[in-house]
């Protein structure tokens, strides 16, 4: 893969649209010679004028973690035309975790624990590389195939930043998606790796209950709930089949003080994830 975008004749046939986000549309693309299929993130240069750094950042991040972790989408190719930038990734045909949660209602606890363990291990890997994802949410977690036990992959490093461990330990600036954003992001007190662990807490809550913990009637109320760490395992009927250990894991990830929040490595050692089967003790 080249370091700088090369303008060259198109080697791909684009197909159906897979999804779209803030600056990009993602389409299926087939390499004409090899017939290999990819997911091609197409970014219109017009939309990102003045913000090209966001894309360059995404490419730099992806290049840094291109050692092909099985749970992180690999960037295979990168090129541009006069109008667009094209980034070709592993094609994930199984859709977003978001859609699976919505169609299942919620996950069985053992399945949720297995999924969280896998995602968190990939998060620990990117953290060990000095990278913070900053936009972990079920829309950015994709299944490689349609199979029920398909491999899950972290995608969309568009908002992540390379952490220069020597010069900068804190990041500032508001970004991300409100419902998954950590309290320190709103306090503008800088945010580093702990924001990803917070997001894992929100994702785990969502997997177990089928709804997110900080949904409120207004954005102001939502922010207030996040900043206060106001997590309730309610209504009770949605939590009746969830073990106290699982709730304890969620609560630990949703620790308001980022310094007191477990790191990804520590969260992986939580007994909810180390147990072969979750400790299920029904409520009295
Ligand atoms: P944005 O930065 O605009 O959110 P994403 O990289 O998250 O862009 O892509 C937007 C959507 O496109 C994703 O939520 C997903 O539905 C789809 N998508 C992204 N990457 C892939 C991929 N590798 N395989 C299949 N679908 C993808
Ligand atoms: Mg996205």
Cα 102 off chain centre by: 17
pLDDT digits (tens, 9 = 90+) for 240-259: 999 999 999 999 999 999 99
Cβ atoms of 163 and 131 within 8 Å: the answer is yes
Instruction: Name the closest-CA residue to atom 6, ligand 1.
Output: 156
167 pLDDT more than 50: no
Residues within 5 A (CB) of ion ligand 2: 21, 140, 156
Q: With 70 as the cut, is the pLDDT of residue 180 above it?
A: yes
pLDDT of 142 > 50? The answer is yes
Atom of ligand 1 nearest to the CA of 24: 3
Nearest ligand 1 atom, CA 20: 10
List the residue whose alpha carbon is closest to atom 16 of ligand 1.
19
Point out the residues that are catalytic.
135
Residue 64 is encoded by which pair of tokens? 């840094």
Strand 75-80 to 141-143 pairing:
unpaired
- Spell out which residues line ligand 1, taking CB within 6 angstroms: 18-24, 26, 39, 41, 73, 89-92, 96, 139-140, 142, 155-156, 158
Mean pLDDT for the chain overall: 84
- Protein residue whose Cα sits closest to atom 19 of ligand 1: 26
CA 87/CA 48 separation, integer angstroms: 15
Selection from 272, 94, 115, 265 nearest residue 196 by Cα: 265
**pLDDT tens, residue by residue, 59-92:** 877 777 766 789 999 888 888 888 888 889 999 9
User: What predicted TM-score, i.e. pTM, was given to this entire model?
Assistant: 0.85
pLDDT at 123 over 60: yes
CA 121 to chain centroid = 12
């Amino acid at each position: 893969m080249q370091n700088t975008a090369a303008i060259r004749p198109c080697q791909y046939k684009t197909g159906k649209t897979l999804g779209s986000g803030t600056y990009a549309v993602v389409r299926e693309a087939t390499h004409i010679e090899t017939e290999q299929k990819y997911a091609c993130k197409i970014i219109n240069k017009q939309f990102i004028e003045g913000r090209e750094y966001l894309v360059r950042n995404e490419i730099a991040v992806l290049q840094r973690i291109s050692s092909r972790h099985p749970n992180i989408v690999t960037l295979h190719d990168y090129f541009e035309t006069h109008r667009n930038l094209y980034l070709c990734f592993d094609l994930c045909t199984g859709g977003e975790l978001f859609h699976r949660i919505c169609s299942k209602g919620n996950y069985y606890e053992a399945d949720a624990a297995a999924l969280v363990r896998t995602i968190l291990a990939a998060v620990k890997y990117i953290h060990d590389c000095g990278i913070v994802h900053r936009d972990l949410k079920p829309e950015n977690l994709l299944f490689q195939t349609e199979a029920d036990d398909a491999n899950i992959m972290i995608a969309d490093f568009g908002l992540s930043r390379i952490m220069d461990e020597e010069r900068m330990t804190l990041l500032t600036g508001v970004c991300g998606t409100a419902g998954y954003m950590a309290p320190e992001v709103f306090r503008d007190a800088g945010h580093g790796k702990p924001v990803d662990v917070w997001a894992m807490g929100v994702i785990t809550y969502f997997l177990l209950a089928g709804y997110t913990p900080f949904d409120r009637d207004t954005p102001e109320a939502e922010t207030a709930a996040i900043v206060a760490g106001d997590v309730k395992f309610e209504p009770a009927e949605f939590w009746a089949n969830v073990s106290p250990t699982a709730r304890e894991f969620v609560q630990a990830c949703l620790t308001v003080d980022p310094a007191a929040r477990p790191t990804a490595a520590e969260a992986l050692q939580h007994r909810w994830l180390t147990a072969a089967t979750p400790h299920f003790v029904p409520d009295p």
